[in-house]
Structure formats: C-alpha cells, structure tokens
C-alpha cells in the first residue's frame, strides 16, 4: 500500500468524531459500469490491479445497461461483526468502518451473508479473506476517479444509506434475473 502507515498518522480526523465528507454516497442511476473504481481500489490497497481485489463491487446487467456499485456504508450495529464466529471483524474508531483481522478470520463467509448491502467482497479463488471498504484512510480513491458521479462524498447520513439501499434493490433484481 502506498505509504499507508504514513497516511494513518497524517490523516486529519477529529478526536472522537468522524468526517462525514470522508464517507461515500452511492448514486446508482449515474453508474456507467466502467469498473475504474475497482481497479483504483485494488491498486491503492494491494499495489496490483484487478476488479476482483476491490472493496467496491460493481454489479452489472449488461443486457439492460443497468449498473450499480456497492460498498460498505458502516451500518450502526455492524451485523458483519456480530455474525463473525471468531471475532475477526472490529470497528476502526477513526473511520467507523469495519476492519477484518486476517489472523483471526476463518474465511467462513458468514459476514457476507449478513451484510444488508452486498457490500463485502469475498472471492476465495482470488483472495482468501473478505474485503471491506476502509475509506482509504480518509481520502477515498474511488470517489476521486468517478466522473459519472456514482460515487461521491456523502453530505448527509440519510443520503448515504438511501443510496446504498437503492443499490441493494438493483443488485437483488440483477441477481435474480441471472439466476436459473
């Protein structure tokens, strides 16, 4: 990761509070399905580039040109953490986002099932552990590159959760269309 340790120390954050503008809003209607968010996310975190190593997940129904990204919006109550049998998911107090403690994770996938927004990437053939958005320590890269505006800095919590819920309903439709 690019000087991540340095960034943690430098990241401007308020003691005991989190910056709303570091958070990400999803606007599904504006997604053009380009995947650049995924490639940027994976390169930033892993120094290697693949859509499958990304914490933001783009769902696409190409036959209907319907697309949406989804990513963790840090639901209060953290159902992913509650579902984890080994206590491998904890909350990062600086960002409010879940962190997966790889040394405790058993790759069981229970967190994925519990996530209300399909926002946890878990492809064991690609990477053994779940991938959850960590807001890139305060400067989310995907937002910087999303010109269509499907991923933007959040302005209100309501908007953030609304966007994620809209994304979720699109994802449910896409998944059911392509299930036999």
Partner 1 sequence: MICTVYSVNGKILHVDLTNNKIWVEKYGNDLLELFVGSRGLQARLYWDLVSPKASALSNDNVLFVGSGTFTGTPLPSSGRTTVTFKSPATNMYFKASVGGDFGLKLKLNGYDIIAVHGASERPVYVYIENDHIDIIPAEKYWGLDIRTAHVELIKRHGLGADTLLIGPAGEKLVKYASINCSVYNVAARGGGGAVLGYKKLKGIVVGRGSRSVILYNPREFYEKSLKVIFSIMRDDALVATAKFGTASATMGLDKTSTLPCYNFRKSFWENAYRNAGEYYVEAGYLVGRVGCAQCIVSCHRHTKTEKYGGVDTVGPEYETSNALGGNIGNSDTDALIKLNDLANIYGLDTISLGGVIGWVMESYEKGYLKNLKEELGVEPSWGNVDATIKLIEDITFRKGTGDLLAEGLAVVCNKINPETCKWALQSRGLEHSRVETRIARAYALAFALNPRGPDHLHTETFAEFGFTEDAKKLIKRLTGSEENAGVGKDVGRPEIVVWHEDIYAVTDSVGLCAFIDTAGFAVNEAILSELFESATGIKSSSDMIMKSGERIVTLERMIQVREGRSRRDDTLPWRILNEEITTREGKTYTLTEATLNSMLDRYFELRGWDLEKGIPTPSKLRELKLEFTVEEALKHLSRP
Residues in contact with partner 1 by CB under 8 A are 2, 29, 32-36, 39-40, 42-44, 46-53, 59-60, 62-65, 67, 123, 125-126, 144-148, 174-175, 177-180
Work out the number of other CB atoms within 10 angstroms of the CB of residue 173: 15
Residue 156 to residue 24: CA distance in whole angstroms: 10
68 versus 95: smaller Cβ distance to partner 1: 68
Token duo for residue 154:
């959040």
34 versus 99: smaller Cβ distance to partner 1: 34
Q: Please name the residue that has the structure tokens 């309501």.
A: 158
35 versus 162: smaller Cβ distance to partner 1: 35
Q: Return the half-sphere exposure (C-beta side, CA atoms, 13 A cut-off) of residue 39.
A: 6
CB 42, min distance to partner 1, A: 7
CB 157, min distance to partner 1, A: 27
CB 141, min distance to partner 1, A: 9
Provide φ and ψ at 64, rounded to 5°.
-115, 5
Contact yes or no for 23/75 (Cβ under 8 A)? no
CB 118, min distance to partner 1, A: 11
Residue 110 to residue 25: CA distance in whole angstroms: 25
CB 164, min distance to partner 1, A: 19
Token duo for residue 118:
């399909």
27 versus 95: smaller Cβ distance to partner 1: 27
34 versus 75: smaller Cβ distance to partner 1: 34
């Amino acid at each position: 990761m690019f000087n991540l340790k340095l960034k943690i120390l430098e990241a401007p954050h308020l003691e005991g509070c989190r910056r709303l503008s570091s958070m990400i809003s999803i606007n599904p209607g504006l997604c053009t399905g380009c995947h650049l968010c995924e490639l940027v996310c994976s390169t930033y975190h892993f120094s290697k580039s693949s859509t499958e190593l990304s914490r933001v997940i783009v769902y696409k129904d190409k036959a209907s040109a319907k697309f949406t990204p989804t990513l963790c919006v840090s639901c209060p109550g953290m159902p992913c953490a509650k579902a984890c049998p080994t206590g491998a998911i904890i909350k990062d107090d600086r960002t409010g986002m879940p962190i997966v403690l790889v040394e405790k994770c058993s790759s069981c996938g229970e967190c994925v099932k519990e996530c209300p927004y399909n926002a946890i990437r878990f492809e064991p053939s690609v990477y053994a552990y779940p991938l959850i958005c960590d807001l890139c320590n305060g400067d989310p890269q995907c937002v910087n590159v999303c010109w269509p505006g499907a991923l933007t800095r959040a302005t209100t919590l309501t908007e953030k959760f609304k966007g994620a819920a809209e994304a979720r309903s699109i994802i449910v439709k896409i998944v059911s269309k392509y299930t036999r």
